[in-house]
Structure 1
């Protein structure tokens, strides 16, 4: 997906909102033998508008690519069809949606302990309950979260257990609210001995995409 950052051609005309994506983030997961790599692609960030853009293959046609801009502050998402032609990436505006926040609280199914190791590193011990009354538990995974100060917020990993809003809120509550942070690395060590590493690599970018006037 790196080529998406190199050439952009916008196919929309007059617009009311413009996004300038000044950072890109590459997400990868490495397996126990360090040779197994899962690539999760590129996410772009507009630090001024607090928006991000992610890329997806169309669930109805895996050969088609979509880009979706998420603008949480304005409560909108904007969808583009993406094609590559003559070394250029072409964005064709499709439609916009209103974001719906799920504010329903979900009971946490795990027992979680979180300790701050230093200013930007946190240790997370996650236990699973072994009886219905939740009086007995055993450790499932220990993870170390490493954050970096940034111009944008990003706290996502692809994990079965530690990709948790509860963990995110607990960690962020221990940090000064005057700064923004992105999750740069997570090392997970499971009770069975296997270890996985998640890496988010940030680079500068310079990409501008307009949104047509909303009727």
Structure 2
């Protein structure tokens, strides 16, 4: 009997995109259920009663929540394709550390580059660039954060790339000028089919953010 895999998601969510990339990388067929986050479905509230957030992966009726945990789960359950997480315990711990760093730093600073203005925006822009510079330093001369092949950190970080146009346009800065090796990594990732076919168009994301700014009276 084939696995039943359902993903509760919202199209611009970098957290949901992580899961979609991991599923695509492993070649897993699934049913995508797009959520209206202003009117959350009964299924979402039932499957994630604690946080009531997307993404939620439902595998044979059982929910798995939180994007980084879902990616780990996918990697552990579907082992027939190359692993995303290293088998070496130290390298695995390091990968988990950097994903934790990304979750604590990148989203918040990135959001503030387009959701704020004035001094707050300037501070957010500087903070965001410093965060990316640190990640660039961690990447070093490796093709991917996972080494020679796409890995856990890459999958958890690359979804932000489709938001960079918004961050840069609203914040009036260029990440390629500030962090060329990092952008070269992102472009390298975009040559991988599981990523290029999963990430939404950056202009569509930008339009979504413009609508949010209008809705909250930020224009």
Is this a same-fold pair by TM over 0.5? no
Structure with greater helix percent: 2
TM-score (norm 1): 0.27
Q: Whose Rg is larger?
A: 1
Larger strand proportion, structure 1 or 2?
A: 1
Higher relative contact order (CA 8 A, sep 6+): 1
Using structure 2 for the length normalisation, give the TM-score. Answer: 0.27
